[in-house]
Amino acid sequence: MSDSPKITPADLDYLAMNEVIFILPGFSLGRITLILGDFGPFVPSIATKAPLWFALYLKERKLCQIQVPSWLTCEWLETKRNEERSDPDGPLHPIHLHYMEISSILLNHASDDIPQAEEIRTLIKDIWDMRMSKLRRSISIMIKEQHVHAQVKNISYMELFCIRPHLCNSLFLIDHIQKAS
């Protein structure tokens, strides 16, 4: 059985840094070419796309304002929470696959650009708890009733990280017993 998961939450943070968000630059600059693609030109106070790591770099130097992604607003998260709450036995609802990482990064580094930051923090935590309990319930049903396959949609990377060791190793053990008999 594997000793520890290879991918850590810090790695997931790193992967999430490549997500593209909108910034309001406080400077002007021509097009820049990155591995992700071309970005810019940057004109002061005109919303422009940029990768998250670049946005954070600028933010640290107070060169830009970060525009909160549409899925990180209070209204949107509230509808999400209500959706998840309304059917506790149903499937997971679509959500940004890096929602935990991006929200944590933005709340920690750019909280002054986010209106109602505290409410958002609570909502994210609520959504996380509900989704995890859903996942745990469906996994235990799957293992108990010995289904051979299950379809899971909309599972985010952080959720996957938390449940993968248990799920994979349980299935390995069951498979091992079945192969021996």
Partner 1 sequence: MNSLSQLNNTSLSQSASFRDSTYVSHYSEAFNFYDIDDILASELRIPCSFNVTAYRLGYLHTNSKTEHIETGTNLELPLWLAKSLAGRKNIVKVSVPIRYTKEIRQELEADANSSDLNKLGPYYYESGIKLLSFDTPDVDAIAEVLIKTFCSRSRYIMDRSHNIYDRDQLQITNRLDESEKKLFMCGRQSVEKFQQWETQKCKKLSSSGFVRMKRKRQFDDI
Question: What does the alpha-carbon distance between residue 82 and residue 127 come to, in Å, rounded to a whole number?
Answer: 9
Q: Which of 3, 33, 75, 153 binds partner 1 (CB under 8 A)?
A: 3
**Are the C-beta atoms of 52 and 17 separated by less than 8 Å?**
yes
User: Which x/- pattern over 103-142 shows residues binding partner 1 (rule: CB under 8 A)?
Assistant: -x---x-----------------------x---x--xx--
27 belongs to the binding site for partner 1 (CB under 8 A): no
Question: What does the alpha-carbon distance between residue 77 and residue 70 come to, in Å, rounded to a whole number?
Answer: 10
Close Cβ partners of 3 (under 8 Å, ≥ 6 residues apart) = none
Closer of 13 and 119 to partner 1 (Cβ): 13
**Are the C-beta atoms of 154 and 92 separated by less than 8 Å?**
yes
Instruction: Report in angstroms how near the CB of residue 2 gets to partner 1 at its nearest.
Output: 5
Instruction: Report in angstroms how near the CB of residue 163 gets to partner 1 at its nearest.
Output: 8
> Closest by alpha carbon to 68, among 111, 127, 38?
111
In the complex, the residues that contact partner 1 under the rule CB under 8 A are 1-10, 13, 104, 108, 132, 136, 139-140, 143-144, 146, 158, 161-162, 164-166, 168-170, 172-178, 180-181
